[in-house]
Structure 1
């Protein structure tokens, strides 16, 4: 083979290899893009379908958004705010929804609704539209109160605090965010300086509230953080009193008893936890093995 033919041969081979590499690269990027979009598409299709806006999953979402118009897209974004992904949220805004035009509905603003799923990226995105982070609900809760009931993380909390919100802000019942905190939110709030012994207007701590609500995971986390089973509210009730009085709280009662909760303390009406449990037991939802230990 002559030198010229050899050069042409190898040049064509190299060019072919380069083209193949470029095609493979394009395919890989395109495939990853499709994989990233697919979950969002399914999410949006389900959202439109569940709201009676689509008959099946084959309709063009962009055309549907145009058809229903901006006002309906605004309401759809508001309704979906507690659960929708950031990608789907951005799509809705790009296709007619305007966060700035959505006022307070059902006693909550769009930002407050979104705070039920307090992921940093979602919240930062909405705050970028100039929404007011200091607005409170009619019962006085802030974004941090609402977010604490979800799975609040360090970044989202730092974002809220950078907007002037405080972890010790109280609602109309005198409750701080810790009173509503979920299992995952408790250590985040504690790390930021929240007081697990803070009391509300009724003299109840976060442990009182978690016990009353039957949130055993939160009760366990609060006890591990040093919450006291001996604290009494203004009516003389300990967390065990409240758990005994509530329904479906057997697990909470077991957890409190294991932590040394007193069973003989009487509230201001003279009732022990067992006395209050007797009333609850009439509804048949208290195991006798639990009642006998009170």
Structure 2
């Protein structure tokens, strides 16, 4: 497929071969599926936000031309069969459609199509507004702050993180380390089946799916809670490479004592000290003199003079 975008499109978000969002100077087009759990259906989405009005029904495969829309009676229940989903309309839902046809005084299938399109729109807007209201309680604008749930999570993390906590990013010089970490993040289909499984027999995604070639069983209860409760790496990394006989490579070996002292002072005094390790060194005066630490709230400079490189 070839997609030709107008020059007015200034931002385009892609995930594999799918568009996550398209942004222009006037509008931003988002995909709601990026804000809900995988496998969620439209009906489940409405139910999750307690929307009473539900999705309607239309005989997709029966309407093969515009002339069909002029038919003056509701087609039989068999006309609502979907070969795509291999499913048919239940008798209960068909009886509901018959009542809708009578109560709304429908004259032809065109009226049913209009009703169906409205049923696709009104409940969705109601659910979307409730979802946006939930994120507002967290100080987030769902449709402006991100294009997916992971983006909202990251924004919330930075909004709620204490001022004296920082993320140490990987330097440009060590970008190969970033790529190495990305390559180590691997995964496959993680699907909850029924209790009994057998290699070569259990199918992925239904009877027409591919038979699994290996089985691994885990008790996933509290697995994520256990994982996030473990000690995790923080601050700038210390690299040890095989080609350098695993000798430690420090990001800033001359500033370690300085940093430890500044962080100790910040913790002891319950203040926030800006350093080059969490932001940039503060520059003061016309000469733009750099200082080791800067407490903006108390207008105080902290200098470390306690190692060979910083003087006695």
Q: TM-score, normalised by structure 2?
A: 0.20
Q: Which has the higher strand share?
A: 2
Larger radius of gyration between Structure 1 and Structure 2:
2
